[in-house]
Amino acid sequence: MRLHELTLRNFRGVKDRTVALPADGTTVVIGDNEIGKSSLVEAFALVFELPDDSKSTRIRDIQPVGQDVGPEVIAEVSFGETRLRYLKRWLKNRTTELSVTGPNGRKKDWTGREAHNEAERLFAEHVDPVLWQTLMVNQGQSLVQPAPADAEPLIAAVNAESGTPVDGASMPLVLAVEQEYLRYWTKGGKPTGEYARSAQAVAAAQELATRAAKAMEEVAADVRKAERLADELDDLSVRLADHLREVEVLRERKRTTDEILLRRDSARDRAELARAKLDNHTRTRRERERLTAEVERLTEAEAELATLRAETETVARKAADAVREAEAVLADAVELKDQRRESVHEAEQLLSELTDRSELERLLGQQTELADVRARIATATSVLDGIRLDDDTVVALEDARARVVEARAALAAGVPEIDVRRLGAAAVELSGSGIDAGVPALPEQLGEGGSAQLLVSGELTVTVPGQLELTVRAGGEAATLRAALEEAVRRERDLLGRAGVRDLADAREMLRRSDTASAELQEARRTEKSLTAGGDPGERIALLSARLGIVPGAPEEEPEPEEAAPAAKPVEGVPGQMSLFEGLFDDLDEAIDEPEVDPAELLAAVAGDGARVEAAQQALEDARAELALAERLVADASFTATQARKAADADRAEAAQIRARSELAAERLAAATDALEAARAEMSDEAAEATEAEALTEVEALLEELTAVQEQADAVGADEVAGLLDDALAVAARLQTERDTLRDSLRTTEGRLEQSGRDGLATRLDTAELELASVRDVWEALNRRAEAAFRVHETLGRHRAEAQSRYSDPLQSRIEALGRGVYGPSFKVTLDEDLAVSERELDGVRLSVDALSTGAREQLAIITRLAISHLVSTGEGSVPVIFDDALGWSDKGRLRDMGALLGRAGDHGQVIILTCMPERYEYVPRATFIRLEA
C-alpha cells in the first residue's frame, strides 16, 4: 500500500488541508504543535474504519468545537497497481464516495454503504492489520518494541527469503489442534473435562466392583464355613448317636440292678428300723435299772443324813448351853470385879479421910485463935473441899456420858427388837435377861391390849400360859455389845463417883458452886492475910474437918468399906441412877452449915488416927489386889464366852446345812420312787427285758437278709452302674452342647448366606463389573483420543517452535545489518517467539531490552521496524512506515546515524515521518521535507 494524498476538511483544528506524499522514499512532514500532523494519521484510520453514519464518539471528537460542520477526509492510496480515491464525510451531508482505477486503467465508482464496504474489502485484502499496526508508530509510542510474528506479509517474506514454502493452512490447523487438546487436557497437561470425569467414573465403578467382589468373597467364605460346619455337625451327630446307644445299654443294665438295690435298700431300712426299736427297748431296760439303783442310793443317803442331822442338832444345842454358862460366869465375874472396884474406891476414900484426919490433927495443934475471918475461910474452904471436880473432870464426864449413849445405840442396832402385843384375854408373861425395854424395868406381864417393845441382848421368853412359850436369844455380837454398854456405864459411874456428883448436871452445878466458894475464899484470905500476915492452919483444919465430916462431939463411926458400896444396885444391863453422891452432898451441906467448931473438940475427934492410916493403906492395897484378880477373871470369862459363842455359831450353821441336805435328799428320793413306780405301772421289769430280747432277735435276722442282698448287688456291680450311666450322660450332654453350638453357628452362617441371596450379591457384583467394563470402555476410547490429541499437540507445537525459530533468522540478520550501521560490527540481537527483540549484545555485553537506555530502546524499535519494512517491501503486502514524532532521546551522533538509516529505508518503501522538530532529521539523506503551514 502506498499513501499518495490526504485531504482533511473541518477535521479538528484543520479547516481544509491537502497533503501530497511521494510514493517512495522518506518524507518528513514538518509542522508546529497543534498544526494537525497527528490528525493526518487519525484521518487515514477513520476513513477506512467507520462508515459515514457512524455514531462513534471518535467522530464527535473530530468535529471542530462549536461548528455545525461535517468532518471530511479524502484519501488517495494505491494497492499495487490499483488506485483508490476515497471520500467520506460524517455528521453533516454524510457522503461516501469511492473511485477505483484498476491496472488496466478502468475506473469504477461506488457511493454510500457500498463504497464503504468495497473500500473495507480492498483494505482487508491488501493490508495485513498486524503489519499495519506494527509499522505505524503513533505519537508517544516510539519506545514500544514491535512484535510482528503474526504478520502474514512478514511470514511470507521470511519464507520466501529462507526458501521454505508458505504455511498457508497452518493457523486454522493450529487452532483446531489446540482446541482438540484442550478438550482432554488442561494447558498444564492434566486430564480435564469428559476425560477426567471418565477417569473418576472408572475409579468409582472400580470401588463399587471391589466392594461387591469383597461381599462375594465373604459369601464364598461363608459357604466354605457352612460346609465345614455341616461336615463337623454330621460327624458330631454320628458320635452322639453312638454315644446315646451306649447310654441306652447302661440304662437297661441299671434297670436290672436298680431292682436289687431297691431290695437292699428295703432290707437296710427294715434292719435300721428294727435296730432302732431294739435300741429303744434297751434304753427302757437300762432306765429301769438306773431308776431302781437311784432309789436305793437315795434311800441310803437320806438315812445317813437324818442321822447326821440329829447329831449336829444335838451338838448345836450343847454349844448354846455352853454359851449360856460362859456368859453366866462372865456376868458373875463382872459383878465381882465391880464390887471389888467399889471396895478399892472406898478404901481409897477411907485412906484419904484418914490422912486428912491425921493432917487435921497435926493442924489442930497449930490452930490458933482466929476469929470470924477464919471461920469464913473455913466455911469457904470447906465448901470447896467438898467439891472434887474441875473443868477437866466435867469434860471427862461428858465424854463418859457420850460413850454410854453410843454403846446404847450400838446395842439397839445390834440386837433383836421384839414387839410383843397382847391381843386377847390370855395373859402374856415376859421374862429373860439382857433385855432393854426402854423402861426402867421389864414388865412381867402385859395388860390387855398392852404391848412392849424390847431390845434383846440376852434371852427373852414370852409365855402365854397353857398355850405358848417363845424364847428369843440374841446371838452373835449381842453379848459383846451389852458388855460394852455396861463397861461404859461403869466408867461413867466411876467418874461420877470420883467427882462426887450424881450426874453430869450435878457436876456442872457443883463446878459452879466451887467457883463461887473459891471467890469467897480468896476474898476471906486476903482479909485473913491482912489480919494475920502469916499462915493459919485453921483453914486446913476446917477443910479437913469438913472433908472428913467430923462433927465435933459426935462419935466417929468406923468406915465400913463393904457398906460404903452404893446402896442401889442397878438393874442388870441398865445404867443405874447413882444416888451415892447425893448422900455425900447432903453430908457436906450439913457440915458446911455447921456452926464454927471448937478446935479442941476437933483435936479430940481426930486424935489417935495415925495407926488407922496405915491399916487403911493396907486395906487399899488389898482391895486393889482383889480388883486385879477380879479383872483377870472377867477377861478369862469373856474369852471363854466368846469362844463358846463362835463354836455355837459354827455348830448351828452346820446343823442348818445338814438339815437342808437331808430335806433335799428326801425330796429326790420321793421323786425317784414316784418315777420308778410309774414306770413299773406301765411295764413290769420282766416284760421290759423280754421285749428287748425279742427285738434283738429280729435285728439279727434282718442283718442276715441284708448281707445276702448286698452280696447279690456286688455280684452284678450294681453300685457302679449308676456312676457309669452318669458319666455317659455327661458326655452325651457335652456332645449335645457341642452339636447345638455347631448348629447355631451353621444357622447363623446360613442365615447370612440367605440374606446374601436376598440381596442378590452376585447380581450386584455382575452389575458392578458390567458398569466398570462399560465406563472403562468409555475411558479407554477417550484415553486413546486424549493420547492422540496430546501427541498431535506436542508434535505440531514442537514443529511450530522450530519454524518460528527459522522465521526469526532473516529478521534478526536484517536488524543486525541495519544496527551495525549505527552501533558498529559487534551489534547483535536476540528475538523471542513473537519475533520481538528481547536482548541486545554490544561489544560482547548482552542486555535485556528493558535494561537499555530510553534512547537505545527507541533506536532499537525504529531499527526493527525499518528491518521489517525492508523485509516485506518486496511483496504486495508492504505498507508505509509512519513515525509520528520520534528520536526525541538521541544525541547528535546517533541522530546522524539514525538519519542515515531512515534515509536508506526510503529506498525500499514509503517512509513518512511527522515532526515538529525538523532538526532531528536534518541528516536524513534524500528526504522530501513538507512543511505544514497554519
Partner 1 sequence: MNDSITFLHSSDWQLGMMRRFLGPDGQARFAQARLDAIVRIGEVAKTTGAAFVVVTGDVFEHNQVERQTILRACEALKRIEVPVILLPGNHDALEPGSLWTSAQWTGHAPDHVTVLTGTEPFEVLPGVEIVGAPWRSRRPVSDPAAPGYEELAADGKTRILLAHGQLASLSGGLSDVPTINQAALEAAVAEGKVRYVGLGDRHSMIRVTDRIWYSGTQEVTAPEELEPGNVLAVTLDPANDTIAVEPIRVGAWHMVEHHAELDDEDSLTALEDWFAELPDKERTYVRLAARGSLPLPLLSRLDAMIDAQGEVFASVERWVKFWTVQPAPDAGDLDMLQLSGPARAAMEELRQALAGGDESAGAALTLMHRLARDAG
Torsion angle (degrees, nearest 10) of CA 765, 768, 773, 776: -140
* Phi and psi at residue 55, to the nearest 5°: -100, 10
Site for partner 1 in 574-633 (CB under 8 A): none
3-state helix, strand and coil shares in percent for the chain, rounded to the nearest 5: 65, 15, 20
Q: Which of 398, 509, 596, 750 binds partner 1 (CB under 8 A)?
A: 750
Q: Does 757 bind partner 1 (CB under 8 A)?
A: yes
Task: Check if the beta carbon of residue 379 is closer than 8 Å to that of residue 592.
Answer: yes
- Interface positions, 717-746, toward partner 1 (CB under 8 A): 746
Q: Do residues 902 and 924 touch, judged by C-beta distance below 8 A?
A: yes
**Of 354, 352, 335, 338, which is closest to residue 623 (Cα–Cα)?**
338
Cβ nearer to partner 1, comparing 97 with 167 = 167
User: How many residues belong to the site for partner 1 (CB under 8 A)?
Assistant: 58
Q: Which residues contact 678 (CB under 8 A, 6 or more apart)?
A: none
Residue from 15, 798, 820, 931 in contact with partner 1 (CB under 8 A):
798
d(CA 306, CA 655): 11
The only residue of 15, 214, 283, 791 in contact with partner 1, by rule CB under 8 A = 791
Q: Which is nearer to partner 1, 790 or 923 (CB)?
A: 790
Using CB under 8 A, which of the segments 57-65, 464-472, 516-524, 799-807 binds partner 1?
799-807
Does residue 833 interact with partner 1 by CB under 8 A? no
- Residue choice 6, 8, 40, 177 for contact with partner 1 (CB under 8 A): 177
CB of 221 to partner 1, least distance (A): 11
Nearest to 35 by CA among 918, 695, 848, 658: 918
Which part of the chain contacts partner 1 (CB under 8 A), choosing from 275-283, 485-493, 500-508, 800-808?
A: 800-808
Q: What is the grid cell recorded at 128?
A: 495485513
- Alpha carbon 42 to its chain centroid, in Å, reads 99
Name the minimum Å distance from CB 160 to partner 1.
13
Q: Produce one character per residue of 61-90: b if its CB has 16 or more CB atoms within 10 Å, e if not.
A: ebbeeeeebbbbbbbbbebeeebbbbbbbb
How far, in Å, CA of 258 to CA of 248, rounded?
Answer: 15
For the bound state, the minimum distance from the C-beta of residue 80 to partner 1, rounded and expressed in Å, comes to 24
In the bound state with partner 1, the residue whose beta carbon lies nearer, of 36 and 191, is 191
3-state secondary structure 433-481: EEEECCCCCCCCEECCCCEEEEEEEEEEEEEECCCEEEEEECCCCHHHH
Please pick, from the candidates 56, 684, 795, 854, the single residue that binds partner 1 as defined by CB under 8 A.
795
Nearer to partner 1, 646 or 798 (CB): 798
Contacts of partner 1 in 107-166 (CB under 8 A) = 159, 164-166
Q: Give all strands of the β-sheet with 82-89 in edge-to-edge order.
A: 14-20, 2-11, 72-79, 82-89, 95-101, 107-111
- Residue choice 168, 424, 476, 717 for contact with partner 1 (CB under 8 A): 168
167 lies in the binding site for partner 1 (CB under 8 A): yes
Q: Can residue 169 be called a binding residue for partner 1 (CB under 8 A)?
A: yes
Q: Per-residue string for binding with partner 1, 179-218, x by CB under 8 A?
A: -x-----------------------------------x--
CA atoms of 867 and 407, how far apart (whole Å): 174
Residues with Cβ within 8 Å of 913's Cβ and at least 6 positions away in sequence, in order, are 26, 27, 28, 29, 882, 883, 886, 902, 921, 924, 927
Q: Smallest distance from the beta carbon of 162 to partner 1, in angstroms?
A: 11
- Residue 802: CB minimum distance to partner 1, A: 7
Query: Cβ of residue 158: shortest distance to partner 1, in angstroms?
Result: 11
Report the residue number, 95 or 170, with the smaller CB distance to partner 1: 170
Cα separation, 408 vs 429, in Å, equals 25
Q: 180 vs 654, which CB is nearer to partner 1?
A: 180
Nearest approach in angstroms of CB 241 to partner 1 is 20
> 582 vs 198, 376, 380, 494, 507, CA distance in Å?
165, 25, 20, 15, 11
**Of 754, 876, 907, 922, which lies in the binding site for partner 1, with binding defined by CB under 8 A?**
754
- Nine-digit cell at 676? 420308778
**Amino acid at site 714:** D
Residue 788 contacts partner 1 per CB under 8 A: yes
Interface residues with partner 1 (CB under 8 A)? 159, 164-170, 172-177, 180, 216, 219, 222-223, 226-227, 229-230, 746, 749-750, 752-754, 756-764, 766-767, 769-770, 773-774, 784-785, 787-789, 791-792, 795-796, 798-800, 802-803
